[in-house]
Amino acid sequence: MSRRADRCLSPKPRGECPGASSCGHSPDVHEETAMHDHRKLGRELNLFDTDPLIGAGLPYWLPDGAAVRHALEEYIRTAERRAGYRHVYSPVLGKRELYEISGHWSHYSDDMFPPMDLGAEQIVLRPSLCPHHALIYRSRSHSYRELPLRMAELGGMYRSELSGVLGGLTRVRAIQLNDAHIFCTLDQVSDEVRAALEMIRRAYEALGITSARYRLSLPGPGGKYVAAPEMWRRSTALLTDVLDRSGLPYEAAEGEAAFYGPKIDIQVTDSAGRESTLSTVQVDFHQPEQFDLHYIGADGAKHRPVMVHRSIIGSVERAVAHLIEQHGGAFPAWLAPTQLVILPVSEAELPNAEVLARRCARLGLRAEVSGLEHGSLGARIREARLVPYQAVIGAKEAAADHVALRLRDGRRLDPQPIGDALTRIGALVDAHSTDLWDGAACP
Ligand SMILES: [Zn+2]
pLDDT one-digit tens code per residue, 132-183: 999 999 999 999 999 999 999 999 999 998 877 777 898 899 999 999 999 9
- Closest listed residue to residue 178, CA positions, set 48, 335, 73, 58: 73
What is the per-residue pLDDT for 33? 42
What is the per-residue pLDDT for 322? 94
What is the per-residue pLDDT for 35? 57
Query: Ligand 1 centroid vs 23 CA: distance in angstroms?
Result: 25
Query: Ligand 1 centroid vs 189 CA: distance in angstroms?
Result: 15
What is the per-residue pLDDT for 158? 96
Query: Ligand 1 centroid vs 9 CA: distance in angstroms?
Result: 4
What is the per-residue pLDDT for 306? 96
* Residue 400 banded pLDDT, cuts 50, 70, 90: very high
How many C-beta neighbours within 10 Å does residue 217 have? Answer: 28
Query: Ligand 1 centroid vs 54 CA: distance in angstroms?
Result: 28
How many C-beta neighbours within 10 Å does residue 406 have? Answer: 19
Report how far residue 259's alpha carbon sits from residue 217's, in angstroms, rounded to the nearest whole number: 11
Specify the 3-state DSSP secondary structure of 54.
coil
What is the per-residue pLDDT for 26? 38
Query: Ligand 1 centroid vs 74 CA: distance in angstroms?
Result: 21
Query: Ligand 1 centroid vs 432 CA: distance in angstroms?
Result: 27
Query: Ligand 1 centroid vs 431 CA: distance in angstroms?
Result: 29
Whether 244 has a pLDDT exceeding 60, the answer reads yes
* Residue 7 banded pLDDT, cuts 50, 70, 90: very low
Query: Ligand 1 centroid vs 49 CA: distance in angstroms?
Result: 29
Query: Ligand 1 centroid vs 64 CA: distance in angstroms?
Result: 30
Whether 12 has a pLDDT exceeding 80, the answer reads no
What is the per-residue pLDDT for 29? 39
Average pLDDT, the chain: 89
Query: Ligand 1 centroid vs 280 CA: distance in angstroms?
Result: 10
Query: Ligand 1 centroid vs 128 CA: distance in angstroms?
Result: 7
Q: What is the pTM for the complete model shown?
A: 0.88
Query: Ligand 1 centroid vs 129 CA: distance in angstroms?
Result: 6
List pLDDT tens digits, range 299-353: 999 999 999 999 999 999 999 999 999 999 999 999 999 999 999 999 999 999 9
| Range of weakest confidence among 112-116, 193-197, 258-262, 302-306 | 258-262
Query: Ligand 1 centroid vs 310 CA: distance in angstroms?
Result: 7
* Residue 439 banded pLDDT, cuts 50, 70, 90: low
Report how far residue 75's alpha carbon sits from residue 302's, in angstroms, rounded to the nearest whole number: 37
- The arithmetic mean of pLDDT across residues 24-43, rounded, is 61
Query: Ligand 1 centroid vs 143 CA: distance in angstroms?
Result: 22
- The arithmetic mean of pLDDT across residues 397-401, rounded, is 96
Which amino acid, 19? G
Query: Ligand 1 centroid vs 298 CA: distance in angstroms?
Result: 27
**CA 68 → CA 56, 160, 432, distances in Å?**
22, 26, 13
Query: Ligand 1 centroid vs 352 CA: distance in angstroms?
Result: 51
List pLDDT tens digits, range 189-242: 999 999 999 999 999 999 999 868 999 999 888 767 777 788 889 999 999 999
Considering Cα of 243, then 244, then 249, then 250, what sign does the dihedral take?
Answer: positive
Query: Ligand 1 centroid vs 130 CA: distance in angstroms?
Result: 4
| Range of weakest confidence among 74-78, 108-112, 424-428 | 108-112
Considering Cα of 126, then 128, then 134, then 136, what sign does the dihedral take?
Answer: positive
What is the per-residue pLDDT for 23? 33
Q: Is the separation of the CB atoms in 225 and 282 below 8 Å? A: no
Query: Ligand 1 centroid vs 149 CA: distance in angstroms?
Result: 14
| Range of weakest confidence among 68-77, 124-133, 205-214, 292-301 | 205-214
Query: Ligand 1 centroid vs 169 CA: distance in angstroms?
Result: 21
What is the per-residue pLDDT for 153? 98
Query: Ligand 1 centroid vs 364 CA: distance in angstroms?
Result: 34
Of the chain, the percentage scoring pLDDT greater than 70 comes to 91
Whether 18 has a pLDDT exceeding 80, the answer reads no
Q: Is the separation of the CB atoms in 332 and 434 below 8 Å? A: yes
Query: Ligand 1 centroid vs 276 CA: distance in angstroms?
Result: 18
> Taking ligand 1, which is a single-atom ion, which protein residues have CB atoms under 5 Å away?
9, 130, 309
- The arithmetic mean of pLDDT across residues 432-440, rounded, is 87
Query: Ligand 1 centroid vs 133 CA: distance in angstroms?
Result: 8
Query: Ligand 1 centroid vs 6 CA: distance in angstroms?
Result: 11
Report how far residue 268's alpha carbon sits from residue 212's, in angstroms, rounded to the nearest whole number: 5
Q: How many CA atoms lie within 13 A of 344 on its CB side?
A: 22
Report how far residue 443's alpha carbon sits from residue 37's, in angstroms, rounded to the nearest whole number: 31
- The arithmetic mean of pLDDT across residues 359-366, rounded, is 97
Whether 15 has a pLDDT exceeding 60, the answer reads no
